[in-house]
Structure 1
């Protein structure tokens, strides 16, 4: 949740929603494994770790960042239907309107051909 002062409730008012949150964690893998939905900032590490676990994801873009490459990544992955993209002011609406059945599983690409090409260009042996 960053460095803000707001501390959310762990349980919704009607008791139907349990929320886990933290200011920092060296690994979020265990949280992701146990989650039914992940709401995250638009950092590429958080995005791809969640997608690799196959969990539904809402990425909330920080519009205050200059040269916002995070926004570009989140919007592209949303266009490809791998995740939902929201802004702070649209998060509630996104949660209410989302249908996780419309998401397409993310399949990581194979970097070996790119690595091989770079190694060849640099004169390194191909492993």
Structure 2
């Protein structure tokens, strides 16, 4: 069975946590073969209750913040992440399939540009909270291109070019 890790970094993104921990989302994730979900809720107000799971619902584990989420990233088959550069690059750097969820409530969200650029290159998918369940049902994560390893300077230069900074 598959594991899902959801991260909002050090921010508050309660709409994502509420959406992914909803009964409907749990059923969708169960149908997609996920047996365990770990939610990293950051500084959010919503802290879903841990539960062991059953035939129709994956097991759920939640926490706010800890020193490093790399262990959770490495253990997961799919990462759902806020649009923070650190979280995205950590997940891609570990060779994981990534779905970035844009916080549509933030005005002038520059992080959206990073998600769009990486999606254009085929490294990840992105969506908003309102289309999260549809995206999970319809996206084929086997189509994503593995993220290049080992030369962050080249990747940074490439991103600068894609984003129009050079």
Q: Hey, what's the Cα distance between the residues in 2 that align with 1:9 and 1:90? A: 25
| Local SS of the residue matching 2:66 | coil
Which entry has the higher C-alpha Rg, 1 or 2? 1
**Structure 2: stretches of 5+ with no match in the other structure:** 1-40, 157-166
Q: For 1:39, which of 61, 71, 80 is the aligned residue?
A: 80
* Structure (1 or 2) with the greater strand fraction: 2
Are 1:79 and 2:109 counterparts?
A: no
| Local SS of the residue matching 1:111 | helix
Deviation at 1:33, TM superposition (A): 0.7
Moved beyond 3 Å, runs of 4+: 8-13, 17-21
Distance 1:89 1:8, change over 3 A: farther
**CA RMSD between the two structures:** 2.3
Aligned position for 2:9: none
| Local SS of the residue matching 1:39 | strand
Q: For 2:92, which of 24, 37, 51 is the aligned residue?
A: 51
Aligned position for 2:104: 63
Are 1:103 and 2:144 counterparts?
A: yes
Q: Number of aligned pairs?
A: 112
Higher relative contact order (CA 8 A, sep 6+): 2
Q: Hey, what's the Cα distance between the residues in 2 that align with 1:78 and 1:39? A: 14
Give deviations 1:75-106, integer Å, cap 9, x for gaps: 11111111110100011011101111100011
Contact 2:83 2:115 in 1 (8 A): yes
TM-score, with length taken from structure 2 = 0.59
